[in-house]
Structure 1
Amino acid sequence: MDATKQLLHGVRVADFSRVLAGPYATAMLADQGAEVFKIEMPGHGDDSRHLGPFTETGSTYFTSLNRGKRSIEVDLKDATSHEDLIDFIRTCDVVVENFRPGVAAKLGLSFDDIKAVKPDIVYASISGFGQTGTQAKRPAYDTVIQALSGLMSATGFPEGSPTRVGESIADVSAGVFAAFGISTALFHRQTTGEGAHIDIPMLDVMLAMQPTNAAIHAAGAAPSRVGNRHPISAPFDTYRGTDGLVVIAVANDKLFAALADALGKPELVTDPRFATDSARSDNDEALRAEIEEFTTGHSVTELCTIFDAAGVPNSPVLDFAEALDGPITEGRELSAKDPRTGHTYLHHPILVDGARPTSELPAPHLGEHNAEFGTSAHDEQRQRA
């Protein structure tokens, strides 16, 4: 990791989280140089170890979320193991958990429990609905949160059914906000010496991720399914070419004038139906007819070339492989290979001084670092005391 700064070097994390949201957060911390110890159930480990897709070297899903971490097996219900675990947590700066609210307390691992032995701990709890309230103990998965947050009802085409976003966006977003909350709490601790309990409810996160829908709601309207178009700007949609769809994204009058010229229809700029963004949105179908009169005569490649020359934001609709491995991301180093499994995983998306933070450690075997936990916790605890 010589080429990148380890912004979280020296930070130690006890990670009790499983599957996606928590592991996504702690992978981001590991990429930035934090020492992440993944606390796993003996003999079984994180459920994501058993989730496909698989290669002969294991789960690609697990690898992508747990690169750069260490694994220790701990029976959380065993009294002796619990004592050792508390000693280990005394050496840590951060605890991350995504137990259902109330479970950590039953295990003697709640924020209050840990704060009693480590007053400056930064403790992050990820859950579906937060640590308090009538819904707190409800189980939650990504699709449940997408449905409850209103996102699903606003996704899809008007004539179709509410649609799940094509990624576990509630889990991933919760992971990003958890990493953000932990980082800001560590900064606060650095300046004040105080720890903090960071509560990350997936539902709250998913609501916060909908500023456009919130703006529509605040104006007294109901967000609705509008397909690929933007709900408040136009033209901002997919349009038919001879061999597929092209995206055109225009959000101001200057860009619309450039598009009108590229279409060979400069008169559209002075047409009262299209004179402002609001008017264009209100008359979206009429505008679509004008645009597709031109686009249906050209291939997607030709259209992208024409719109690029005019300075109009546009794109073909790519699949994931085309996006990650194609020319659009050439030279960006967006992925890497785990040195042990050979699995490709996505790099940390933030560049620090021009380089992508990454950890040299492979995704761990279950219990690979048990010996390190058993011998180092007490020694380091004494050194830090």
Structure 2
Amino acid sequence: MRVADFTRVVAGPYATMLLGDLGADVVKVERPGTGDDCRGWGPPFKDGESTYFLAVNRNKRSVELDLKSEEGRRLARELVASSDVVVESFRPGTMRRLGLDYETVRELRPDVVYCSISGFGTDGPYRERAGYDVMVAAHGGLMSITGTPGGEPVRTGVALVDVTTGLFAAQGILAALLHRQRTGEGQHVEVSLLSAQLAALINAASAYLVAGHVTGPQGSGHDSIVPYQAFRARDGYVVVGAANDRLFRLLAETIGCPELAGDPRFRTNADRVAHRDELVALLQDRLSTEDATYWEDVLWRAGVAVARVRTLDEVFDDQEVAASGQVVTVDHPRLGAVPLVGPAVRLSRTPAAVTLPPPLLGEHTTEVLAELKLGTNRAR
């Protein structure tokens, strides 16, 4: 499968990277001279290369095309005509002005699977708005439930709206390819950051739509489960979750406070939610008396859901992460050996793999244009 990738920043590149992980030949079309916006996002940089760009652009080949020129658009049409999938993340209407919209591309490649990614979709009054992750997180409600009560709105530490959008886009493309395999028909796949954000609100959305409850920020806590949050230990933080009554009794016994399980304020989860402040204060007093590693060890051995809050250096030094084999090393043309987080999905017969490093800007222009001239579609 060849994927013509007209995306930039995070959501679109994340989707096409996932397709590349599964074996697609992803040809990334970039602006001459500057390329994808996130090539300039930093610091941190490594020898001039943005670590942000490296995170979402493995398994791709880069081609510089000036889509403002007739020659650039002609070459882009040749590329899409030879591609099974086209993915774009311009503002709605841009690809039409370039002569690369779905209807036009379908004339060149009738069975094409064409995916459009936008901030707010193509039908509503906000379709022309720029759709960066944090703006959609604000508009779509995620920032209203992230942070601490009474505190300022907080964005998630990584662009989860973009990542979620990329996952939905890849899912839609794969479903469309399966349909094409069965029927020979291509189709237009659309996903917006706002639609992905709404889908990801899960229980918070349902709480409002079904019960009229407007969820607010809970810090590390949970609106419907107590205890289910981070507690300050003597030397750090530990997250404890007791999502049912049996686990709460086990937690109370393990930390040496069995009387909590018999307290009428805390007997059921609904009781614990109603008396959240009292219970959290009691648990905090007890958990602050030992180190986080101590509580993680004893609670894990007792069967209580628990995890110490780790920093990223600790995460990538963790034995479980090492055992997963998910951190892979690729040979970058400028940086040499570069470690990257590889695919999350495991397939027993057709494993996902990292076969190409994130490309230099325009690194494969000559190669891909030669293939277009010869009418070839490189298999990987």
TM category, shorter: over 0.9
Cα displacement (A) at 1:207: 1.2
* 1:162 and 2:157 aligned: no
Check whether the contact 1:348–1:356 (CA below 8 A) recurs between aligned residues: no
Q: Which runs of 5+ in 1 are unaligned?
A: 1-10
Matches within 5 A, 1:10-21: 11-21=1-11
Cα displacement (A) at 1:354: 8.9
Farther off after superposition, 99-108 or 295-304: 295-304
- Return the TM-score normalized by structure 1: 0.92
Residue 352 of structure 2, aligned match among 336, 351, 357: 357
Check whether the contact 1:146–1:170 (CA below 8 A) recurs between aligned residues: yes
Distance in 1 (alpha carbons) for counterparts of 2:304 and 2:175: 38
Cα displacement (A) at 1:293: 3.5
Q: What is the aligned partner in structure 1 of residue 256 from structure 2?
A: 264
* 1:138 and 2:129 aligned: yes
Q: What is the aligned partner in structure 2 of residue 339 from structure 1?
A: 331
Distance in 1 (alpha carbons) for counterparts of 2:222 and 2:350: 34
Q: Which whole-Å deviations, capped at 9, do the CAs of 1:264-309 have from their partners, x for residues lacking one? A: 2333333221111111111112212332332122111111111012
Cα displacement (A) at 1:176: 1.2
Matches within 5 A, 1:197-236: 197-217=188-208, 218-236=210-228
Q: Which whole-Å deviations, capped at 9, do the CAs of 1:70-91 have from their partners, x for residues lacking one? A: 1111121222332232222121
Distance in 2 (alpha carbons) for counterparts of 1:268 and 1:51: 50
Distance in 2 (alpha carbons) for counterparts of 1:300 and 1:81: 58
Matches within 5 A, 1:1-385: 11-52=1-42, 53-56=44-47, 58-217=49-208, 218-340=210-332, 341=335, 342-353=337-348, 357-380=352-375
Cα displacement (A) at 1:35: 0.2
Cα displacement (A) at 1:330: 2.6
Check whether the contact 2:117–2:191 (CA below 8 A) recurs between aligned residues: yes
Check whether the contact 1:63–1:338 (CA below 8 A) recurs between aligned residues: no
Distance in 2 (alpha carbons) for counterparts of 1:64 and 1:270: 49
Farther off after superposition, 284-293 or 97-106: 284-293
Distance in 2 (alpha carbons) for counterparts of 1:323 and 1:215: 33
Check whether the contact 1:324–1:334 (CA below 8 A) recurs between aligned residues: no
Check whether the contact 2:15–2:169 (CA below 8 A) recurs between aligned residues: yes
Check whether the contact 1:76–1:107 (CA below 8 A) recurs between aligned residues: yes
Check whether the contact 2:296–2:308 (CA below 8 A) recurs between aligned residues: yes
Cα displacement (A) at 1:258: 1.1
Cα displacement (A) at 1:60: 1.8
Check whether the contact 1:31–1:358 (CA below 8 A) recurs between aligned residues: yes
Check whether the contact 1:90–1:381 (CA below 8 A) recurs between aligned residues: no
Q: Which runs of 5+ in 2 are unaligned?
A: none
Check whether the contact 1:38–1:69 (CA below 8 A) recurs between aligned residues: yes
Moved over 6 A (4+): none
SS in 1 for 2:83: coil
Percent of residue pairs bearing the same amino acid type:
39
Matched residue type, 2:22: Q
Give the superposed CA RMSD: 1.9
Matched residue type, 1:361: L
SS in 2 for 1:66: coil
Check whether the contact 1:13–1:94 (CA below 8 A) recurs between aligned residues: yes
Distance in 1 (alpha carbons) for counterparts of 2:164 and 2:355: 25
Cα displacement (A) at 1:37: 0.3
Q: Which whole-Å deviations, capped at 9, do the CAs of 1:27-60 have from their partners, x for residues lacking one? A: 1111111000011112222122222221115222
SS in 2 for 1:274: coil
Matched residue type, 2:370: T
- Return the TM-score normalized by structure 2: 0.93
Distance in 2 (alpha carbons) for counterparts of 1:315 and 1:87: 52
